[in-house]
Each structure stands twice: as structure tokens, then as C-alpha cells.
Structure 1
Amino acid sequence: MKLQRTIRLRTAAVGALTVCGALALSACGSDDNSGGSGSDTTKAASKIKCEGEGNLLASGSSAQKNAMDIWTQTYQSACGSTQINYKPTGSGAGIQEFLQGKTAFAGSDSALKPEEVAKSKKVCKSGQGIDLPMVGGPIAVTYHLEGVEDLVLDADTLAKIFDSKITKWNDPAIKKLNPDAKLPGKKIQAFHRSDESGTTDNFTKYLNAAAPSSWKHEPEKAWAGKGGQGADGSSGIATNVKQNDGSIGYAELSYATGNDLDTVKLDTGAKEPVEATADNASKAIADAKVVGQGKDLALELNYKTKSEGAYPIVLVTYEIACDKGNKKESLDAMKSFLTYTASEDGQKALKDKGYAPIPDEIITKVRTTIDGLS
């Protein structure tokens, strides 16, 4: 049974990827998931145009740590005079460091808020912070329930579970969605992020949009639901779910696959429940619209999609930089590095890591915007 689960999860995360992945979510349990063949890395590195030098500092989203590991390895093999130092401190902390002028750019799973854009003008002397969508992928709802390896839930049920309104696994609402499952009367242990997180922001945006009558909290990076237990980072969520029978949590897909955790299928109103895979997340991201103004490329995701095979709990990680007024000592290196990450090779490098592609029409705009950073 364990072997079947492993095969199923790996097939979902890797075998379903028939398109170029754009976002690699960091797998818990190992910080070294760079992967990739040496020949592929060498070919990609040979195309990189190296500019600038020194230590390029950045921090933020832990969801893109694995992507950064891959990109950094390839970029530094070509551009040895530049050292990329990316710290996965979480989206909230990354934005704060950027706004304090401590980093060249930040990674965030949520676009800048208006008040953050206003603050960025103090750092970006002649401009402001802008959002550059770079990587995307599914947020999996992970669970550990002995004897149940094929669980279906919908937005309303998830909202009630994470807001402590449904507290037992054999609740009638869960039974209705899983008539053939042997659901125990075990208490549900719901784990949420204790740190401010773009993953939490996107997960609660989904709950708020798809189940507004059951999730009345405003989406935020900080957890607002009632009850439950906090855990630090997506790795903390995955570890706690793995260790506790009867538990449930949310984390980027590769944290689930990296820890051999089962994932919930979503009843979205489509003909069949939808599994958390990169390919299914791609179908949901395809519905996204650019809503940012000027050079800002913030996206609006459709969390209520009912398209067949579209998995709606997704996030897009942005690289946040100044459109104008970037620090002179790091500008050239930053543009060179981001140009590579947004390139066809940079995006392809992540396709085996459980990430969904940024649509061509959007990533093309990202490349143009990076070229114009000053």
C-alpha cells in the first residue's frame, strides 16, 4: 500500500508534467533538491550573459527555494564573479527586508499591497517596487489518515475544517464526499503556518473566494482561522502532518511528494475531482489576468474555476524589484540573473520539480520589464 501511494504521488508530480515548468517548490526533508543533469546545466549556462559581480542578496518566499537552488547553481557555473545569496525567510519577511533596503530583490507568493508599494518608493528613489511573476504551482492539501488514501474534499468542507467547524473525520460532510471510505471518528488535527506566508495568503484567498459563507476571514499572510495548530514554514507543516495520524495541512506540492504524503482531491464542481499536479495547476493559472498597473505584472487568479482538470489552489511567486532606482552596485548582476530565470532555459530547468508554467504571454512581458529595470 505504501509503495502504491509513493508511485501515485510521484506520477502526479512528475509524470503529469508535459509542459515546461516554471516554478519549483522546495521539498521538505532535504534542502538539496537541485537535480538536473550536468549536461543540461552546462548547455543552459553557456547561453547566460554575465553582467555585474559581487554578492547579490535576496530573500523571501520559501516556496521558490528549490527553484533558486537550481537557478543559482546554473548561473554561478557561468558567472563565477557573482554570488547569489537567497534566504528563504518567507514572503512577509522578504518584503520587509526589501522595503528596508537590505536586499536587491524579494521573492513573494503574493503581490505587493498598495501600502507596500507606497513604502517601496523610499527605497526605489525614482520609482517603486513592482511584481514580476516568475514561478507558479499548486498548493497541496496534505493529510495523514491511516486507511484512507483517496480523500475528496470541497472548498466548503476545507473551510470548516480549518476554521474548527468540522472536528471529526467521520463528519457527515466528509462522508458525503467519500461514501466508500472507511472514515474513523478520530479528531482532526489541522496545521497552519505560524509565520506570515504567501502560501497562507493564497490558500485563504481560495477559501474566501470558493466558500465565502464558511470562510469569512479576509485573506492574509498571517493565519486568521480559529483553532488548529501552527507550524513554522511549509517544512514544518509537512513534518507535523507526517508525524500525526489524523492530521491535515497545506503546503506546496513538492513538500507533499518529498515527504510521501497523501494529497486531497478537490471537488470543484467539475465532472471529476481534481488532483494537485503541476499540469492541473497550469490549467488554473491559464485563467489568470494581469491586473498590475504600468510595469507591475501582478496577476489575478481565478480560485472559483470549474474547468475540467483545473486545480484552483495555486500560487504564483513574484520577484519584487524596483522599476527605477535600483542600487547601482547590484543592478547589473540582478538584471543578468533575473533575465536567466525568466528565459526559456531558466523555466525549463524546473519542469521536473512540480511547478506549473507561467503562460508565454506573461513571461514575455516579464522579460521585457526586466530588460528595462534601472
Structure 2
Amino acid sequence: MNRSPLRRAALPAALLLSLSLAACSGANESATPAPGGSSAAETLSGELSGAGASTQTAAQTAWAAGFGATNPDVQVNYNPAGSSAGREQFLSGATDFGGSDAVLDDEELTQGQERCTGGNAMDLPVYISPIAIVYNLEGVDDLQLSAPTLANIFLGKITTWNDPAIVADNPQAQLPAGPITPVHRSDGSGTTENFTDYLFDVAPDVWTAEPDSDWPLQTGESAQGTSGIIQAVTGAAGSIGYADLSQAGDLSKASIKVGDAYVAPSAEGAAALVDASPEAEGRPEGDIAIELDHKTTAAGAYPLALVSYALVCSAYEDAAQGALVKAYLEYVVSEEGQQAAAKSAGSAPISATLRTQITESLNRIGA
């Protein structure tokens, strides 16, 4: 079966994040040029609106602040309403750019041709983060899990921590006999789809449900949003869940089996996974959709990660607005922008190779 990269994603309740960065500055004040920045001879001004993946919230805050430092007359507003809402609002023309943990599907790409005034919509991977398996189990700090074991836990077939399958993954651990409480998202979520996509790819004989942004089973307990998962696992001994590593806090994180080794979640491991993964075929010009290779055995790669995308047009009806989008995204993918996101959100900076590809796509805007 040929599956395109994750097609659906989260739609949590919208919470407007207004990043108002317009600042008073003298008419003759010059700014130091920077990635996506401007000089006295090329002053950017106006307002940019975006909406979408809540996973990008902290990163978008950092990006808007950094961009605003050299472009004080530009205001960037990002509404973390969820990936589905981000795609819908971008395709309807309600926003200048979108954020999504899943790429546009074929139907949405067709809509993008109309929205983008003769051009096409492009998915650009701007945010990479590992998905951590978080757990609350006293006395067990270095839990190791293979994909089949993990799948059976969330299927509800492995119900106690001293089950033989978990013991086999953790021969040195002192595992208690207590019950396991798996916790999944109650809302549609790109994190859920990435997690179920991983299980579907790596443990297909165990996990047979198609990847989906909505939890596909009537098992375990549910919680609203990433914060709900973290709160539920923190508050219940013996529980286990999945969440963006940047929000996992002090909870214990399991290492996932890759080949013959177990790899802990890290930004570097997620970046290694992306670099080891191919691009999806049959996409429009300028579109960069990553087909995550969850089965990779590349050194240091962590197999369970999330790639979140910026959605932009190759052509905007308002050329000046297109120039603003281009300048902002140039900052987002710059080394400075990626380091700002890494510091703020714990994400993995994109590679130099991927940065070059995205820059080539951005150069299509207004060309």
C-alpha cells in the first residue's frame, strides 16, 4: 500500500497567540541586515497571519521575536488552532501561511492551485522534534521498549509491567507487577498520527490500524492535548503515554529499539532520522514532503519523530504580502532561526542540506 506522508492532523481548540512585534522606530533608523531581515534601503512593514499546528507554538514565538528584532514594523500573528485548522485557513485564503504536522494531501494540493493564484502550495519542513514515550514507574529510570512491545501495551494486550515481553526488553530492570495504564490523546492530533504511523510501519503484525490523527481504538485512558497527556501520566503511577519531547518535562522517557540497540529520544536523533529519510515522490515543484523511514538503522537515529511544516504559496495575489512571507520563512529556516527554536522549544535544527532545499523553494515566491 502506498501511503503519502501523514495526511491528517490535530484540531485542538484554537487559542489565539498574538505575537505583536510592531515597534516604534524612527523613519530614518536603519536595521542590521539578518536572515529574513531588512536594511534601511529595504524596509519591511505590514502584518503576517498564520495558523496551525500547536507543536510550533513555542518556535513561532521565538521566530516572530527574532524576525521582529530586525523588522520592527512587521507584526506576526500565529494562532495555534491545530494542523487541520491551519490547512483549512491557509487554503481558504484566511491566512498568509499555515502550520501543519501533516503535509497537504492530493485534494488539498488541488485547492492550493486556486488559492495560490496560478502557483501552487508548498509544504516546507521547518520544525523537527522527537516524540517521547513518557512513563511513570517508580524505580525504573531506563525503560527500554521494542516496537511490538510498545504496540501491545497501547493495544491493551500487555497489561502488567512485569509482562514477559517487557522483561525481555529490560533484562536488568526490577519491574513491578502493577498494572499499566496507557494514555492517548482524546483530540485529533498530529502527534497521534505520527505515533500510530510509526507502530504501523515498524510493528505491522501487531499494530494493524491505519495511521490516524484520531486514536483508532477503544483502549486505555484519554487526555486532551499534549498538556493533558503529561498531566495524566504525571498524576498516575504505572501510566505511559506519548508527547513532544519539548513538553515532557521531568517525566521518565523510554528508549526505543533501533536495530540491536535502544535509542533515547533527542533532538539530534530526530534530525538523524529526517536526514536518513527520503522525500515523497509525485509532489509539486518546490514542495518538500519527508517520508519518515521509521525502520532506519542509521547511527544515532531516533525512529519516532514529528516533522511540522510551513504551508506557503509559490505565488501570492499581493506581491508585497508574498515578499513578507518569504522574508519571514527565510529567517525561520536560517541557522539563527533554527537555533532560536531549539533553545525555546527543544526542537532539532534542520540540516544545511535541507536548509538549501527550502531556500530554493522560497525563491520561487514572486519569481
TM-score normalized by the length of structure 2: 0.84
Say whether the 8 Å CA contact 2:49–2:76 is kept in structure 1. Answer: yes
Say whether the 8 Å CA contact 1:92–1:221 is kept in structure 2. Answer: no
Instruction: Give 1:155's aligned residue.
Output: 147
1:150 offset after TM fit, Å? 1.1
Instruction: Give 2:210's aligned residue.
Output: 218
Q: In 2 relative to 1, CA 261–45 (structure 1 residues): closer, same or farther, beyond 3 Å? A: farther
Deviations along 1:299-322, one digit per CA (max 9) or x if unpaired, are 111100123321110111110112
Instruction: Give 1:264's aligned residue.
Output: 254
1:179 maps to a residue whose letter is: P
1:164 offset after TM fit, Å? 1.7
Instruction: State the distance in 2 between where 1:45 and 1:303 align.
Output: 42
Query: Is 1:274 equivalent to 2:274 in the alignment?
Result: no
Q: In 2 relative to 1, CA 327–163 (structure 1 residues): closer, same or farther, beyond 3 Å? A: farther
1:361 maps to a residue whose letter is: T
Say whether the 8 Å CA contact 1:52–1:330 is kept in structure 2. Answer: no
2:327 maps to a residue whose letter is: S
Instruction: Give 2:50's aligned residue.
Output: 58
Instruction: Give 1:75's aligned residue.
Output: 67
Instruction: State the distance in 1 between where 2:111 and 2:143 align.
Output: 44
Deviations along 1:201-258, one digit per CA (max 9) or x if unpaired, are 21111111100011111112222133122222222211211111111111111111xx
1:52 offset after TM fit, Å? 4.3
What is the percent sequence identity of the aligned residues?
Answer: 40
2:73 maps to a residue whose letter is: S
2:278 maps to a residue whose letter is: K
> SS of the residue aligned with 2:187?
coil
Which 4+ runs in 1 deviate beyond 6 A? none
2:47 maps to a residue whose letter is: N
1:139 maps to a residue whose letter is: I
Q: How many residues align?
A: 330
Query: Is 1:131 equivalent to 2:98 in the alignment?
Result: no
1:186 offset after TM fit, Å? 2.4
Which residue, 241, 245, 267 being the options, matches 1:253? Answer: 245
1:333 maps to a residue whose letter is: L
1:328 offset after TM fit, Å? 4.6
Instruction: Give 2:24's aligned residue.
Output: none
> SS of the residue aligned with 1:349?
helix
Deviations along 1:64-113, one digit per CA (max 9) or x if unpaired, are 21111111111112212211111222212211222232211111112111
1:135 offset after TM fit, Å? 1.7
Higher alpha-carbon Rg: 2
Gaps of 5+ in 2: 1-16, 20-30
1:176 offset after TM fit, Å? 1.4
Instruction: State the distance in 2 between where 1:99 and 1:196 align.
Output: 19
Say whether the 8 Å CA contact 2:286–2:364 is kept in structure 1. Answer: no
Say whether the 8 Å CA contact 1:162–1:226 is kept in structure 2. Answer: no
Give the alignment's Cα RMSD to 1 decimal: 2.2
Instruction: Give 2:7's aligned residue.
Output: none
> SS of the residue aligned with 2:308?
strand
Instruction: Give 2:28's aligned residue.
Output: none
Q: In 2 relative to 1, CA 70–221 (structure 1 residues): closer, same or farther, beyond 3 Å? A: same
Which residue, 135, 146, 158 being the options, matches 1:143? Answer: 135
1:121 offset after TM fit, Å? 2.9
Instruction: State the distance in 2 between where 1:124 and 1:194 align.
Output: 34
2:177 maps to a residue whose letter is: G
Say whether the 8 Å CA contact 1:121–1:127 is kept in structure 2. Answer: yes
1:327-346 alignment, distance < 5 Å: 327-328=318-319, 330-346=321-337
> SS of the residue aligned with 1:138?
strand
Deviations along 1:241-281, one digit per CA (max 9) or x if unpaired, are 1111111111111111xx211100012223x3111011222
Query: Is 1:49 equivalent to 2:51 in the alignment?
Result: no
1:45 offset after TM fit, Å? 6.8
Which residue, 87, 90, 97 being the options, matches 1:95? Answer: 87
Instruction: Give 1:238's aligned residue.
Output: 230
Query: Is 1:316 equivalent to 2:307 in the alignment?
Result: yes
Instruction: State the distance in 2 between where 1:276 and 1:94 align.
Output: 27
Say whether the 8 Å CA contact 1:202–1:314 is kept in structure 2. Answer: yes
> SS of the residue aligned with 1:289?
coil
Instruction: State the distance in 2 between where 1:249 and 1:45 align.
Output: 45
Deviations along 1:118-143, one digit per CA (max 9) or x if unpaired, are 23233223133210111212111111
1:267 maps to a residue whose letter is: K
